[in-house]
Structure 1
């Protein structure tokens, strides 16, 4: 029994000394530069909404679209995975990237879309807002 416990302890000891070769990532919201969105919706229809954003460095990659809904308000942002390495290169201003999502209109009235555009000097979130009416 002592040999088994010693063997298990030895395995844990060697395992804990193995260097971690995994790349670490942080997640960061990127500002939406511009949006292609219809000026009106029809109830029951599905629309493709396109967003454009810039990757700040070569270490930023698209992860997902942050999407929060509260009644008829939709808050949307680009979530980027940022590789934590020292060889990241800054990208130029002409690196506009497009992503999109499909939106199904499920209620009457109008929808308020709030696209994240960063923060102001006081740390408050800034949004590009579109109010889109639903017509019959």
Structure 2
């Protein structure tokens, strides 16, 4: 009997760019546009890696990857894909966003940090 079941795994993708407001208003929800690139045609969007600690938010793109020999590399000059993260402002303090940008030459994670103050 042939096993035709599809297998897959998950990978975290770097955030290419993002759109954040200059300030937040306490109690409001904001759509944060996040742009990313898929390395191959077998990578599909599967939400966000999102870690919350106090007023710090670490964000990356989570992808589901089909294990296949038919994957085709995607040209990184192609336009980035867009996904929206709805963010609710629940603290009065300034938020620190740490967007995952990939790994450096030593395999260490790289983050781009952005602070967004909160107004009442």
Structure 2 length as normaliser, TM-score? 0.94
Question: Structure 2 unaligned runs (5+)?
Answer: none
**Greater Rg by CA:** 1
Moved over 4 A (4+): none
Once superposed, what is the RMSD of the aligned Cα atoms?
1.0
Matched residues in 2 for 1:41 and 1:35: separation? 15
**Matching residue of 1:83:** 66
Match of 1:99 among 83, 98, 101: 83
Q: State the Cα distance separating 1:135 from its structure 2 match.
A: 1.3
Q: 2:13 aligns with which of 30, 41, 62?
A: 30
User: Which TM-score applies when normalising by structure 1?
Assistant: 0.84
> Equivalent residues in 2 for 1:60-79 (5 A)?
60-79=43-62
Determine which structure has the larger helix proportion and give its number: 1
Q: Larger RCO: Structure 1 or Structure 2 (Cα < 8 Å, ≥ 6 residues apart)?
A: 2
**Could you give the per-residue CA deviations for residues 25-63 of structure 1, whole angstroms, max 9, x where no partner exists?**
111111111000111111111111000001111111111
| 5+ residue gaps, structure 1 | 1-17
1:111-130 correspondence runs (5 A): 111-130=95-114
SS of 1:52's partner is strand
Could you list the per-position Cα deviations for residues 58-116 of structure 1 after superposition, in whole angstroms to 9, with x for gaps in the alignment? 11111111111000000111011111111111112214100011111111110001111
In 2, distance between residues paired with 1:84 and 1:94? Answer: 23
1:45 aligned partner = 28
Aligned residue pairs total 119
Cα deviations by residue, 1:107-133 (Å, 9 ceiling, x for unpaired): 111000111111111111111211100
